[in-house]
Amino acid sequence: MKDWHTDDDNNACQENEQTNNGIDNKRDDDNNYTSIEVNNVCIEEDQQIGENEISKSSNKTYKLGNIIGNGSFGVVYEATCIETSEKVAIKKVLQDPQYKNRELMIMKNLNHLNIIYLKDYYYTEAIKKNEKNVFLNVVMEYIPQTVHKYMKYYLRNNQFLPIFLVKLYSYQLCRALGYLHSKLICHRDLKPQNLLIDPKTHTLKLCDFGSAKSLISGQRSVSYICSRFYRAPELMLGSTNYTTHIDLWSLGCIIAEMVLGYPIFSGQSSVDQLVRIIQILGTPTEDQMKVMNPNYADVKFPNVKPKDLKKVFPKGTPIDAINFVSQFLKYEPLKRLNALEVKTK
């Protein structure tokens, strides 16, 4: 591999909140039935979780601080472990007691430098309007920055993310995906907001496994997944037999965005997103359509010639960087560069 290889909140986020509830308990025909043990923590009606609230697991006590993330999936708090004084992040999501939480099941089996570490988890109850709700609390290491925040910082100063950081973050993300995909786990929601960065070491950690799934050959999966700007074309064509290669498309989009300073494909709808892709990659051939989704093989698009990617990226962008991105942005999923290959080419 050449040297480059080795070494905006947007509408897509809003759209993704409709599909990623952080629980994913009953989707995609998994057999997730279970029973759970609920900690003896009960919140009466009108009592609000917030700063200084005490939350307990079986052997740790946590003091909740500011909300650092929220959406339809639930809420993420900055918190402190009282016993160790360690700062952590706690993701609190509504849990159906009859079903396992897929995100938790996956995180329990992950151990990689570039993937967020599961430190603890526990269940709590809340009573509101005489109805009892069970919540899963996922305790993770606290990392304050994201690739998205770094890009916004440089953009505000009319600068691009330094190329050495693009290289560093790209390589670490490839390592994380190589590990994840070796376990046949597909993240299904890769985006700059889900790439945490330690500001002292610039270590990247992939987070938010609320949409992740262990893909099994022959088992169908929902196609309406992944934030729009990073959604692979086969998903927009309704494929339900996709593979971990949808993550590789997202990876290419993220690397391109780090270089450009903005999303390379920024459609206002799923149809418009596909149009934006065609405007750069050109019209997919009949064979390419067949590979993405055989049901769409006869669909005809206007004949658009592919753009030279050198004209898409800013002047002075290293050719190696452009070529690297192009190896992920392929219509044919199997032709996308495998994350495990990045260290060997």
Cβ of 310: how many Cβ atoms within 10 Å? Answer: 11
Catalytic site includes residue 189? yes
CA dist 114 → 43, 49, 72, 287, 308 (Å): 36, 31, 26, 36, 33
Q: Which tokens belong to 251?
A: 């990876």
In this structure, how many other beta carbons lie within 10 angstroms of the beta carbon of residue 197?
A: 23
From residue 118, alpha-carbon distances to 110, 121, 145, 172 in Å are 8, 8, 18, 19
92 annotated binding-site participant: yes
Q: Enumerate long-range contacts of 59-62, CB under 8 Å, 24 or more apart.
A: 60/120, 60/139, 62/88, 62/90, 62/139
Which residue among 8, 9, 28, 189 is the active-site one? 189
CA dihedral 62, 136, 146, 151 (to 10 degrees): -140
Catalytic residues: 189
Residues in the annotated binding site: 92
Residues in the annotated binding site for ATP: 92
